[in-house]
Amino acid sequence: MMEALPTAGMGHNTAMVLAGTTALGIAAGTVGCFMVLRRRALVSDALSHATLPGIVIAFLVGLALGVEGRSLPLLLLGAALSGALAVACIQAITRWTRLPEDAAIGAVLSCFFGLGVVLLSVVQALPAANAAGLKGFIFGQTAAMRSGEAATLAVLALVALAGVALFFKELRLLAFDEGFARAAGWPTGRFDLGLMALVTLVTVAGLQTVGLVLIIALLITPAAAARFWTDRLGLMLLVAGLIGGLSGGIGALLSARFQNLPAGAIIVLVASCFFMASLFFAPARGLLARTLRRARLRASLGAAL
């Protein structure tokens, strides 16, 4: 099976992109579990959309400083900063006003994204600027990715994974019972910052491949799918990582095979297939298993009568 995959036609560059997107998928799936369990899925959506103005501003700063071409680390730094600023805004609004969190998320997300789109149009109209690559961050594109960039992506993903491995116990406590954690003296505010830092890492790493509109799918879908398979958090993280990694890998392969398919959308669609399959067929909590269990119970009721 593995030999049948188009390894022969795969150059060094494609192999690197494949490794990078797989690592990204694993990290996104794993980190995403905590966002799903903490009911913060939509905060990560706001974070990713809010990276756009940061990317464009970082590009302008690079232009002003005379950086040759687009400097990826600078753009990603800009993305991380504006994403973090948006999350801080959401937290400030929910903390100091009576607005519910979903309303705050909606307001902040659209504000940052709108600003980003306007800035992008302005920059693209600048005669001096070669802003062609910036649009790729919106929907993602692996075709233009260089192997050095794929390696950067893999390193970011590994750092995020290491963070989860090191603070598994703390993240589990925070996600399950924040009040108890605070009463016991754990600095839950700092935990939350740490979790958001992990999500930011994954988001920023995924900007190029999956794009900022769809990265939320890679964070949330594998985690949501994994929840159908198990009632153990450790196993859920493994399954989510597996589904995320497979989605990243298969999606990148498909988009490399068919040149005009956008990688981000394909990766997300593969993840969605895993989600649908889990929803229906997972033995622990899937719909089919549930229906069968209920039918069997009803039958045993009839027998008892």
- Binding residues (CB under 8 A) for other proteins: these are 37, 98, 166-167, 169-170, 172-173, 175-177, 179-180, 182-186, 227, 230-233, 236
CA angle at residue 139 from 45 to 15, to 5 degrees? 110
Give the integer Cα–Cα distance in Å for 226 and 233. Answer: 10
- Residues 6 or more apart whose CB falls under 8 angstroms from that of 267 comprise 21, 25, 209, 210, 214, 218, 247, 248, 250, 251, 252, 255
Q: Tell me how far, at minimum, the Cβ of 180 lies from other proteins, in Å.
A: 6
Whose Cβ is closer to other proteins: residue 172's or residue 257's?
172
**CB of 173 vs other proteins, minimal distance in Å:** 5
Cβ closer to other proteins: 28 or 175? 175
Place of tokens 């994994």: 226
* Residue 297: CB minimum distance to other proteins, A: 15
- Minimum distance from residue 271 beta carbon to other proteins (Å): 20
Smallest separation, CB 177 to other proteins (Å):
5
Handedness of CA 282, 288, 294, 298 (dihedral sign): negative
The nearest distance, CB 201 to other proteins, in angstroms, is 18
Q: How far is CA 221 from CA 183, 193, 211, 241, in A?
A: 33, 22, 15, 11
Looking at the Cβ atoms of 63 and 233, the one nearer to other proteins is 233
Shortest separation between residue 290's beta carbon and other proteins, angstroms: 14
Would residue 126 be called left, alpha or beta, if left means φ above 0 and alpha means ψ between -120 and 50 degrees? beta
- Least distance (Å) from other proteins to the CB of residue 40? 13
Q: Which C-beta is closer to other proteins: that of 158 or that of 233?
A: 233
Q: Are 214 and 265 in contact (CB under 8 A)?
A: yes
Closer by beta carbon to other proteins, 67 or else 235: 235
Taking the least distance from each CB to other proteins, the nearer of 137 and 229 is 229
Nearer to other proteins, 205 or 240 (CB): 240
Residue 68 or 231: the one with the smaller Cβ distance to other proteins is: 231
Cβ-contact 197, 206 below 8 angstroms: no
CA distance 295 to 290: 9
**Taking the C-alpha atoms of 194, 199, 205 and 207 in order, what is their torsion angle to the nearest 10 degrees?**
-140
Cα–Cα distance for residue pair 86/79, rounded to 1 Å = 11
Closest separation in Å from C-beta 29 to other proteins:
15
As given in the structure block, the two tokens for residue 148 are 């050095």
Residue 214 tokens, joined: 């769809």
Query: Would you say 183 or 297 has its CB closer to other proteins?
Result: 183
Q: Look at residues 139, 148, 212, 137 and name the one whose alpha carbon lies nearest to residue 19.
A: 148
CA–CA separation, 286 and 11 (whole Å): 40
